[in-house]
Amino acid sequence: ETGVTQTPRHLVMGMTNKKSLKCEQHLGHNAMYWYKQSAKKPLELMFVYNFKEQTENNSVPSRFSPECPNSSHLFLHLHTLQPEDSALYLCASSTRTDYGYTFGSGTRLTVV
Amino acid sequence: GQQLNQSPQSMFIQEGEDVSMNCTSSSIFNTWLWYKQDPGEGPVLLIALYKAGELTSNGRLTAQFGITRKDSFLNISASIPSDVGIYFCGYSGGGADGLTFGKGTHLIIQP
């Protein structure tokens, strides 16, 4: 247990479904992130939230919609995904955006 | 964009051997971080480096922030089976743009 909890651990969804990924941290961190990890690719930064404000949207398609209601919780809302969106989605948090991150265990997403 | 090269891509070693991997960039960075990822888990921070020339150890692991601020290496001494995994370097240029990671080095220990 790293202090960053992601649910669910595994998710299979159809292309017409709507689902949400949840991330929670009680480390007192101010910044939270979503990363996408696909096979044979580097970790791709998707979104950055600093003090609940989105400071980075790394050209992510609109079918991914983040939400940060407070500094401890981060969501990733998914709708009309494509099979190529299948990947491990990792949440992370940190005290500052240039400090070491603490990652969750990820949600393994499969789009069918 | 900034180029980050992590090498080697994979390593096949015998238990007990020392391991060395590195990351180089085309730009100067303020922070270098080294992570390890086990199968089915998120990356775990091993060592964080914040000053050029800094040499930091964590048990059998040693990492250095290059003096030019464009590179970093990670050494593992006397490897053991639980060292198997993917090792990532990550950097930050400062500011609110988060960390960028290398493609990873897959460490495989042969029996």
Mutation test of the interface with chain A: which of B89, B99, B100, choosing the one with the most A Cβ atoms within 10 A? B99
- Residue pair B60/B76 in contact (Cβ under 8 Å)? The answer is yes
Residues 20-79 of A with CB under 8 A from B: 31, 33, 40-43, 45, 48, 50, 55-56
- How far does A26 lie from chain B, in Å, by closest CA? 17
pLDDT digits (tens, 9 = 90+) for A30-80: 899 999 999 877 889 999 998 878 877 778 999 999 999 998 999 999 999
Res. B29 pLDDT band, cuts 50 70 90: confident
Task: Enumerate the residues of chain A whose CB falls inside 8 A of the CB of residue B98.
Answer: 31, 33, 45, 48, 56, 97
Residue in B35, B41, B98 closest to A56 by CB: B98
Token pair recorded at residue A9:
């651990």
CA pair distance A43, B54, nearest whole angstrom: 25
pLDDT digits (tens, 9 = 90+) for B33-86: 999 999 889 999 999 998 999 999 999 999 999 999 899 999 999 999 999 999
- Residue pair A68/A52 in contact (Cβ under 8 Å)? The answer is yes
- Residue pair B33/B87 in contact (Cβ under 8 Å)? The answer is no
The total of other beta-carbon atoms located within 10 Å of residue A10's CB is 10
Q: Given a cut of 60, is residue B1 above it in pLDDT? A: no
